[in-house]
Structure 1
């Protein structure tokens, strides 16, 4: 006899396979191929593990990894909103919350509640873990754009101040990673791949 929880968990696993088809605007490092959400989430999880020593405060690394792995699952329904989109707010949590409830709701009730709680904590960005997870989420595309001669900055005419204002969130999770990121932004202006 196969348990009801296992059936729900397998259905969830099959459903989240769709994240592999959600294309992001950002290209892979040193590439002209767009990254998908699954690749992005995996990369953030690895970054969190490798860079956790740079968190300004003690964090629960497992919780951070959970956050970065599940934060974009909602885009299966809600779609990916480009960080620099002029028409749609990147913090579209109402649409995403509806998606979170549907997708995580496939899981057994207790697990669904946990996933929604972790996702909401990431979105709120208040806890130490959420601040560090968001630092990873803002740092990765910065690394990509600097490796691609400006990448989406050039493609969509994104200027220095907009990049700076969006990326300063890195500082909330790590002063040292922000110092590194800020230098990358300034160097990008000097190299002519980010317009001031």
Structure 2
């Protein structure tokens, strides 16, 4: 499935999904804006990632990815090297990919140079649909995830790197077989896991090493 990536001008001009069947004007203005945002983020289910699913032969979408990360936070929080607020970390992983509704998914092993610019413009557009206080709060969560400035953000980022690693393992390589990707490239892109959890990074390295031995990725050395 192709994803329309909107530039800053088209973002400003584009309509939202709720415009296709507007909500009754009698609904409270704040609630109406919140519900329109809920409808708009249904687009997340259409954004395909590169990672293959383990259960069926297709790629996952961003909504599935975000749900999986949230569950991983709940299950794996004990492996964080620093104490974390699980609820706050769940918020971070649920919000972090919403901007891809407008910016599109940027594969981990791509050489894209405009990702930050695209995602900043998308964040301005998307979170701006909410009432001001919630727009500020969700944008702050997205910025926190991007900056990795807190233990929660570092753990959230670790989950974002660990989840596709597991899916690629189940696919016997998956995106590790992309042109130009070697086992060392995989290690370098996944090393951020170690900023949050030494035990999870040790397990991740075992998967990468074993995948390399089995020929699922190009030799790294």
TM range, smaller chain:
over 0.9
Task: Work out whether residues 30 and 147 of structure 1, in 8 Å CA contact, stay in contact via their aligned partners in 2.
Answer: no
State which structure, 1 or 2, has the greater radius of gyration over its C-alpha atoms. 2
Matches of 2:80 and 2:109, distance apart in 1 = 26
Match of 1:38 among 55, 60, 63: 63
Q: CA deviation digits over 1:107-150, x for unaligned, max 9?
A: 11000100000000000112111100000000001001111010
Q: For 1:140 and 1:112, locate their aligned partners in 2 and report how far apart those are by CA, in whole Å.
A: 28
Pick aligned residue for 1:59 from 51, 75, 84? 84
Q: Measure, in 2, the Cα distance between the counterparts of 1:95 and 1:189.
A: 34
Task: Give the total of aligned pairs.
Answer: 194
- Report the 3-state secondary structure (helix = DSSP H, G, I; strand = E; otherwise coil) of the residue aligned with 2:106: coil
Q: State which drifts further: 144-153 or 156-165.
A: 156-165
Matched, 1:94 2:117: yes
Match of 2:169 in 1: 146
**TM (normalized to structure 1)?**
0.95
Matched, 1:18 2:37: no
* Aligned Cα root-mean-square deviation (Å): 1.3
- Give 1:160's match in structure 2, choosing from 175, 183, 188: 183
- Is 1:182–2:208 an aligned residue pair? no
Per-residue CA deviations over 1:35-69 (Å, capped at 9, x if unaligned) read 00000000000001100010101111111111111
1:6 is displaced (CA, Å) by 0.4
By relative contact order (CA 8 Å, sep 6+), the higher-ranking structure is: 1
Residue equivalent to 1:50: 75
Distance 1:139 1:93 in 2: 22
Runs of 4+ in 1 over 3 A off after TM superposition: none
Deviation at 1:2, TM superposition (A): 2.8
1:104-123 equivalences in 2 (<5 Å): 104-123=127-146
The 1-side partners of 2:60 and 2:173 are apart by: 15
User: For structure 2, which runs of at least 5 residues remain unmatched after alignment?
Assistant: 1-25
Cα separation, 1, equivalents of 2:95 and 2:54: 22
Shift of 1:157: 4.5
Q: Does structure 2 retain, via aligned residues, the 8 Å contact 1:30–1:148?
A: no
Distance 1:102 1:178 in 2: 35
- Give unpaired runs (5+ residues) of structure 1: none
Cα deviation for residue 190 of structure 1 reads 1.2
Distance in 2 of aligned mates of 1:6 and 1:30: 37
Match of 2:101 in 1: 76
